[in-house]
């Protein structure tokens, strides 16, 4: 090499090696299987959406499902989690509209006694225009929570006749066939949500 240039005979093989290495590196980044691959969570359900329509899991075939179990009367955890999820999804949609459109955000209520479709509708609309709220009978909610390994329990509110729901706060991402892919770290903020979606949504 002289004067800051590389001999043509050396340059061509050098550039070829770089060109071959780049796709290999990309493959290595995406080859790692999803952390929930093979997990026995998820499955069929039929619930009622915020418009009063019955909706089955089969309605989401072909789309990624970003599912969060919570309830509208939750004082802090649920609204904060949903804000992070919605903001992260919106950022992902803005960065990659095609992949973003493949993600269907879903809130499944663990408080069906209070979360009627009429209550759910304005609540979900406040977070994301495509967020679907699902409710059902107590038996239906108990069944879907069991299938998705979600803990919840009604607890009497201290000094009040009302109640709160003690529950697991965790968002889960399922693939186009309903297969479990990964937990989404909504408690770490919107940026963490966006990064997780970017990693697992193909």
Segment 116-122 mean pLDDT: 98
- Rounded (5°) CA angle 186-187-189: 70
Could you read off the pLDDT of 130-147 as tens digits, one per residue? 999 999 999 999 999 999
Tell me the average pLDDT of the chain.
Answer: 88
Rounded to the nearest 10 degrees, the angle between the axes of helix 77-95 and helix 190-200 is 50
Q: Does pLDDT of 14 surpass 60? A: no
Q: Select from 166, 138, 170, 141 the least CA-distant residue to 152.
A: 166
Domain ranges of the chain: 1-31, 46-200
pLDDT band at 30 (very low <50, low <70, confident <90, very high): low
Number of H helices, E strands in the chain: 6, 9
Percent of the chain with pLDDT over 70: 85
Q: What is the pTM of this model?
A: 0.83
Please give the pLDDT value at position 159: 76
pLDDT band at 31 (very low <50, low <70, confident <90, very high): low
Assigned CATH for 46-200: 3.40.30.10
| Those residues with Cβ within 8 angstroms of residue 106's Cβ, 6 or more apart along the chain or in another chain | 60, 65, 66, 67, 68, 131, 132, 134
Neighbours of 50 (CB within 10 A): 24
Q: How many angstroms separate the CA atoms of 144 and 163, rounded? A: 22
Please give the pLDDT value at position 198: 97
Q: Does pLDDT of 95 surpass 90? A: yes
Could you read off the pLDDT of 145-199 as tens digits, one per residue? 999 999 999 998 777 778 999 999 999 999 999 999 999 999 999 999 999 999 9
Kindly tell me the sign of the dihedral angle through the C-alpha atoms of 29, 30, 33, 35. positive
Residue matched to tokens 């990309």: 26
Segment 72-93 mean pLDDT: 97
> What is Dmax (Cα atoms) for the chain?
85
Segment 104-119 mean pLDDT: 98
Segment 5-21 mean pLDDT: 43
């Amino acid at each position: 090499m002289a004067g800051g240039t590389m001999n043509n005979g050396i340059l061509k093989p050098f550039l070829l090696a770089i060109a071959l290495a780049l796709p290999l590196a990309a493959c290595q980044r995406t080859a790692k299987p999803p952390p929930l691959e093979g997990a026995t969570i998820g499955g069929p359900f039929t619930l009622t959406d915020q418009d009063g329509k019955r909706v089955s899991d089969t309605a989401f075939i072909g789309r990624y499902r970003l599912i969060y179990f919570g309830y509208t009367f939750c004082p802090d955890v649920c609204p904060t989690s949903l804000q992070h999820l919605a903001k992260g999804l919106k950022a992902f949609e803005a960065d990659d509209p095609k992949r973003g459109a493949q993600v269907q955000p879903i809130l499944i209520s663990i408080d069906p006694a209070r979360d009627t479709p009429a209550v759910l509708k304005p609540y979900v609309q406040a977070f994301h225009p495509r967020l679907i709220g699902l409710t059902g009978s107590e038996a239906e909610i108990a069944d879907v929570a069991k299938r998705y390994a979600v803990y919840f329990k009604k607890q009497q509110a201290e000094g009040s006749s009302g109640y709160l729901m003690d529950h697991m706060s965790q968002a889960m991402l399922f693939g186009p066939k309903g297969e479990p892919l990964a937990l989404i770290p909504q408690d770490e903020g919107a940026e963490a949500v966006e990064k997780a979606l970017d990693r697992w949504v193909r």
